[in-house]
């Protein structure tokens, strides 16, 4: 088991509670891998990575219904505690098996970055690490 390569990229986000599909960026990095495992990691303590169906209804509903998970108000940490707590629960790291250059995800699903911050044009740094035998 060894690291074959690491590649990073940036996305520009806005939020809060907006999903950004990064599947194609990740798949491009993994396209030449016969068999392996990829780790996708987003730097920072207020984002998240989730696997979801790539259809607009699911995305809209997720963005709407996520508000119920953790209240915005009622915390000691100033301003964005809810964003940190969401990130802590949802996580900023995902592992996906790759076979013959394809990400083994549920059919028609993808990898999404979740922006939890009240923000506009924020750069988010994502690192993909490929592990092979």
Residues forming the site for another protein (CB under 8 A): 1-4, 6, 39, 41, 43-45, 70, 75-78, 81, 84-85, 87-89, 91-93, 95, 127, 129, 131
Contacts (Cβ under 8 Å, ≥6 apart) of 133: 1, 2, 35, 36
Task: Report the nearest approach of another protein to the CB of residue 57 (Å).
Answer: 26
C-beta of 41 vs 62, nearer to another protein: 41
C-beta of 36 vs 110, nearer to another protein: 36
Q: Is 47 helix (H, G, I), strand (E, B) or coil?
A: strand
Q: Where are the beta strands (DSSP E) in 16-108?
A: 18-21, 35-42, 47-53, 93-99, 102-103
C-beta of 3 vs 12, nearer to another protein: 3
Task: Report the nearest approach of another protein to the CB of residue 58 (Å).
Answer: 22
Task: Report the nearest approach of another protein to the CB of residue 85 (Å).
Answer: 5
Which residues are registered as beta bridge partners of 47? Answer: 115
């Amino acid at each position: 088991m060894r690291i074959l390569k690491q590649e990073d990229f940036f996305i520009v986000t806005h939020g809060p509670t907006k999903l950004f599909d990064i599947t194609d960026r990740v798949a491009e990095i993994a396209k030449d891998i016969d068999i392996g495992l990829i780790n996708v990691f987003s730097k920072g303590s207020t984002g998240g990575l989730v696997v979801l169906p790539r259809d607009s209804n699911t995305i809209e509903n997720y963005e709407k219904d996520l508000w119920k998970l953790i209240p915005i108000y009622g915390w000691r940490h100033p301003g964005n505690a809810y964003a940190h707590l969401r990130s802590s629960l949802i996580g900023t790291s995902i592992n996906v098996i790759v076979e013959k250059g394809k990400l083994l995800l549920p059919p028609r699903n993808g990898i999404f970055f979740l922006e939890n911050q009240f923000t506009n044009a924020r750069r988010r740094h994502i690192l993909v690490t490929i592990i092979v035998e």
